């Protein structure tokens, strides 16, 4: 049964088709999945498998230019993550990601294709469907056709009802023999397998990251304005820099920051130490040097990178400015690690 539900501020849930829905889409993250002690947590990233369910899921994305990896695991399951960057006509990059959670027997339990930040809302839904349909068809025949059909119907109805944009957050839900699905333009597409689940979701990051409380003093010394706790985002006005993290308690799970590069006569004039005087202290000593070297390589060349360095996910998006001979101006948006699935 197809259900299109409206969550309204004043009227509560309404079923547009005359069917009764649950009133709201599934919560992100699902209740209780991270409320557990360490269960053999492993936060060392590994390349995406080439075989099994994990390989089948990630292969269509890899063939389309996505980067995929296993980002963490524990005794109950493992988390896969894929990413690609889309550039628009202004050369602004819009990242798109996908999360997968598999159980110990390599069965898909949960997947999330978040909405992307694009100029046109219809393009947002098209990109979600373009990623999800071939991926899920690889393990569940027919799932992709249903995804495209349901999302096309939803987007057509959305465009025909301008009043939805004012006070409502519309969403659509359906199920097939494999899973329950929900989609809205804020969260994207969430998929929960009907016969498989993972009770304790992986949450480790200790292999590559330290704590925010141990890193904040070094950020302040580098000129960042940080008010932690509770603030998880810092700014550096003199260089248009930023530093933000996702956390589990005080433990850093992922970090994103922006830094410029200025090469003159073949030499770097904007040193990393200007912003991080004691180095990247939010990273563990085991990975700090190789990750720093990879960042400096991109700063010298003005080029991006997506891969695994010393068991750590490193994403670098580079925007190049003036290039003359040995001179280079660039700005790099850098991500270390991956947020927990569904957060």
Extents of the domains making up the chain: 3-193, 212-336
Residues 6+ apart with CB under 8 A from 281: 210, 214, 215, 218, 288
Instruction: Give the whole-angstrom CA distance, residue 68 versus residue 256.
Output: 18
**Ranges under pLDDT 70 in the chain:** 1-23, 118-124, 162-168
- Confidence at residue 13, expressed as pLDDT on a 0 to 100 scale: 34
- Confidence at residue 122, expressed as pLDDT on a 0 to 100 scale: 55
Structure tokens at 89: 């006509």
Instruction: Give the whole-angstrom CA distance, residue 147 versus residue 153.
Output: 10
Taking a C-beta distance cutoff of 8 angstroms, is the pair 236, 225 a contact? yes
pLDDT tens-digit map of 212-269: 999 999 999 999 999 999 999 999 999 889 999 999 999 999 999 999 999 998 899 9
- Confidence at residue 16, expressed as pLDDT on a 0 to 100 scale: 35
Helix (H, G, I), strand (E, B) or coil at 135: helix
DSSP 57: H
- Confidence at residue 127, expressed as pLDDT on a 0 to 100 scale: 94
- Confidence at residue 334, expressed as pLDDT on a 0 to 100 scale: 98
- Confidence at residue 164, expressed as pLDDT on a 0 to 100 scale: 60
Residues 6+ apart with CB under 8 A from 89: none
Report pTM.
0.90
Taking a C-beta distance cutoff of 8 angstroms, is the pair 201, 213 a contact? no
């Amino acid at each position: 049964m197809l259900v299109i539900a409206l969550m309204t501020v004043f009227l509560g849930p309404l079923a547009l088709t005359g069917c009764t829905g649950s009133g709201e889409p599934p919560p992100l993250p699902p209740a209780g999945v991270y409320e557990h002690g360490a269960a053999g947590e492993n936060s060392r990233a590994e390349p995406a498998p080439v075989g099994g369910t994990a390989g089948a899921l990630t292969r269509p994305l890899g063939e389309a230019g996505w980067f995929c990896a296993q980002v963490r695991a524990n005794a109950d399951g493992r988390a896969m993550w894929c990413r690609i960057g889309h550039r628009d006509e202004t050369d602004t990059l819009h990242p798109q990601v996908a999360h997968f959670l598999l159980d110990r027997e390599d069965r898909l339990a949960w997947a999330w294709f978040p909405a992307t930040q694009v100029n046109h809302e219809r393009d947002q839904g098209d990109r979600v469907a373009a990623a999800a349909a071939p991926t899920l068809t690889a393990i569940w025949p027919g799932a992709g056709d249903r995804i495209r059909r349901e999302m096309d119907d939803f987007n057509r109805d959305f465009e025909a009802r301008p009043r939805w944009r004012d006070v409502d957050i519309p969403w659509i839900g359906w199920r097939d023999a494999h899973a329950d699905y929900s989609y809205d333009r804020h969260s994207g597409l969430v998929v929960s397998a009907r016969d498989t689940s993972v009770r304790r979701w992986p949450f480790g990051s200790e292999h590559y990251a330290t704590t925010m409380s141990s890193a904040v003093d070094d950020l302040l010394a580098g000129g960042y304005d940080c008010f932690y706790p509770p603030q998880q985002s810092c700014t550096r006005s003199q260089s248009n820099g930023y530093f933000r993290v996702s956390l589990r308690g005080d433990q850093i799970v992922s970090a994103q920051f922006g830094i410029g590069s200025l090469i003159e006569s073949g030499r770097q004039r904007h040193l990393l130490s200007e912003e991080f005087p004691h180095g990247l202290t939010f990273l563990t000593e085991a990975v700090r040097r190789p990750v720093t070297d990879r960042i400096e390589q991109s700063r010298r060349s003005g080029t991006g990178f997506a891969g695994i360095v010393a068991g750590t996910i490193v994403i670098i998006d580079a925007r190049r400015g003036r290039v003359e001979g040995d001179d280079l101006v660039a700005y790099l948006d850098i991500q270390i690690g991956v947020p927990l699935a569904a957060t």
